[in-house]
Chains A and B, each alone.
Chain A
């Protein structure tokens, strides 16, 4: 029941990977979780061709789930093309957390993903449909 807060989640929360702000940067975006008001900023650097991500950093005041999710997700970004980023599956972002995410916390788990998409498309991205993304990611953590 308590497995939402496994040790590795708490480790990412205490010391998130890729924390900070890249200056200068090629892409930067800020967005928030309307449920709790948490805000996250993400900055990205691209390769000289402007096609692949060479570096990424994020900064946020958020919960363990949103911090851990962004921390784990940003670790995978270096070398990815912008097209690959646009095609990312939010269910994988949730799945990579490795803990049960229910409807009550799905926005926390996807805040980093949403900010990343916003940075790549240059405008606020829409939240993925919750029913769809939770289908594969399993449920738990929230009331039925």
Chain B
């Protein structure tokens, strides 16, 4: 890759670390933490931590029970978080945002509620070979229980969805197509608008696993033309324990509830129950109240930077890292080479050294990376690998992290005598 093609640095990621208390923590290596595992879970800025604490300290009561002042306050903050997240992802209405625990629960909600009401024996469900287990196992269960057929779009050698294979399956009129926006194992950015257009034209409902895209790039679910989208708060600088499902209002209205109990009802008698309106129909029991305030603070923090800036920053780090890894002999990089199709997630293998050992030696240098199958075992099977090592970025990463990654890989090769 020519140096001139590299986009300029647009964000001082190293300076942003001052907003994230975790970077004050010493590592056993004696060096500062180089955190390269944001695809697994991101670190939290002080603003998010304080919003959660402030919620518990000054605004806490149960929501949706607003008789007294404190409860009205808690409710307003909770519903305010819903509006804020809706605007962040381009949802036409805040009533289309269902708070759940995480993207996994959001996808299960679709599979259990929409899926069991709409899938019949012989129906075709199309997923892909690159999905996280969260966007794969619920559909396997749905197919097993309804008699629907589940098929997977094949991957090219460079980690993209094979367009011919996809079109061939769409031509058979699937009931549902589900795809990740960004692959957590390969970093591939899928052409979602294009896929959704073709899938809807073929009569399918389109589900988007947006867990790896919403934290890292501008996402507008309406413009993408999908029907459902799932995301996790903890990957987008927010708290764990809260995530969201976005769904088209007409679909959500027609769906039966997933979990039942308190809050999701209008009226209960011993003979039967009338469901609450959307989205509360899908929010049984007391939700993650303080976490919703933390999620709203995370949205504010990301918007303060600008999602286009976040994307440009991670693109810059991707290009530098991809090029630097390419210069180390024995390192094989996975996924598309083009930054247009590759997010800030880089999976790689080092010849002759198991990914776990690479990650352990990087850890000894204060560099935190993930090693394993990344909850995407079919991806590993596709490329005949037991596992990969994965480095992934967020706003607080910078070139110093990339340098330490490269230095750590070289140190690993020296330990194993493969350099």
Query: Pick the contact of B387 from A38, A141, A143 — CB < 8 Å?
Result: A38
B415 touches A2 (CB 8 A): yes
- Which residues in A have their C-beta under 8 angstroms from that of B380? 37
The verdict on A104 contacting chain B, using a C-beta distance below 8 Å, is yes
CB distance from B236 to the nearest CB of A (A): 23
- Which residues in B have their C-beta under 8 angstroms from that of A64? 353-354, 357, 416
- Which residues in B have their C-beta under 8 angstroms from that of A105? 356, 360
Interface residues of A in 82-138 (CB under 8 A from B): 104-105, 108
- Which residues in A have their C-beta under 8 angstroms from that of B356? 36, 38, 63, 65, 105, 108
A1 touches B357 (CB 8 A): no
Interface string of B88-116 (1 = CB under 8 A from A): 00000000000000000000000000000
Query: Pick the contact of B386 from A1, A5, A10, A39 — CB < 8 Å?
Result: A39
- In the complex, what distance in Å separates the CA atom of A142 from the CA atom of B417? 23
The verdict on B371 contacting chain A, using a C-beta distance below 8 Å, is yes
CB distance from B394 to the nearest CB of A (A): 19
- In the complex, what distance in Å separates the CA atom of A105 from the CA atom of B416? 18
Interface string of B345-377 (1 = CB under 8 A from A): 000000001111100110110000001110001
A38 and B386 in contact, given A1-B29, A2-B415, A62-B354 (Cβ under 8 angstroms)? yes
B372 touches A36 (CB 8 A): yes
- Which residues in A have their C-beta under 8 angstroms from that of B415? 2, 5, 10
Query: Pick the contact of A35 from B353, B357, B372, B416 — CB < 8 Å?
Result: B372
Interface string of B251-286 (1 = CB under 8 A from A): 000000000000000000000000000000000000
The verdict on A4 contacting chain B, using a C-beta distance below 8 Å, is yes
Which secondary structure dominates chain A's binding surface? Answer: loop
A37 touches B354 (CB 8 A): no
The verdict on B324 contacting chain A, using a C-beta distance below 8 Å, is no
- In the complex, what distance in Å separates the CA atom of A1 from the CA atom of B356? 17
- In the complex, what distance in Å separates the CA atom of A63 from the CA atom of B412? 13
Chain B residue with the shortest CB-CB distance to A102: B360
Chain B residue with the shortest CB-CB distance to A5: B415
- In the complex, what distance in Å separates the CA atom of A59 from the CA atom of B373? 20
* Number of residues on chain A facing chain B (CB within 8 A): 22
The bracket for how many chain B residues form the interface is 20 to 34
Chain B residue with the shortest CB-CB distance to A38: B386
- In the complex, what distance in Å separates the CA atom of A63 from the CA atom of B361? 12
- In the complex, what distance in Å separates the CA atom of A108 from the CA atom of B354? 11
CB distance from A135 to the nearest CB of B (A): 20
Interface residues of A in 23-76 (CB under 8 A from B): 35-39, 61-65
Max chain A C-beta neighbours (<10 A), residue from B360, B387, B415: B360
- In the complex, what distance in Å separates the CA atom of A39 from the CA atom of B377? 13
Chain B residue with the shortest CB-CB distance to A35: B372
Chain A residue with the shortest CB-CB distance to B368: A143
The verdict on B28 contacting chain A, using a C-beta distance below 8 Å, is yes
- In the complex, what distance in Å separates the CA atom of A94 from the CA atom of B24? 34
B28 touches A36 (CB 8 A): no
A104 touches B360 (CB 8 A): yes
Interface string of B382-412 (1 = CB under 8 A from A): 0000110000000000000000000000000
A61 touches B360 (CB 8 A): no
A36 and B357 in contact, given A1-B364, A10-B417, A142-B363 (Cβ under 8 angstroms)? no
Max chain B C-beta neighbours (<10 A), residue from A4, A5, A37: A37
A-B contact pairs, 19 of them (CB 8 A): A2-B415, A4-B364, A5-B415, A10-B416, A35-B372, A36-B354, A37-B372, A38-B354, A61-B386, A62-B354, A63-B354, A64-B353, A64-B357, A104-B363, A105-B356, A105-B360, A141-B363, A143-B28, A143-B363
Please report A residues at the B interface, Cβ cutoff 8 Å: 1-2, 4-5, 10, 35-39, 61-65, 104-105, 108, 141-144
Please report B residues at the A interface, Cβ cutoff 8 Å: 28-29, 353-357, 360-361, 363-364, 371-373, 377, 380, 386-387, 415-417
**A105-B356, A105-B360, A141-B363 provided; 9 other pairs, C-beta below 8 A?**
A2-B415, A5-B415, A36-B355, A36-B386, A37-B387, A65-B357, A104-B363, A142-B363, A143-B363
User: 9 closest pairs, A vs B, by CB?
Assistant: A63-B354, A63-B356, A36-B372, A37-B373, A36-B387, A61-B386, A64-B357, A63-B357, A5-B415
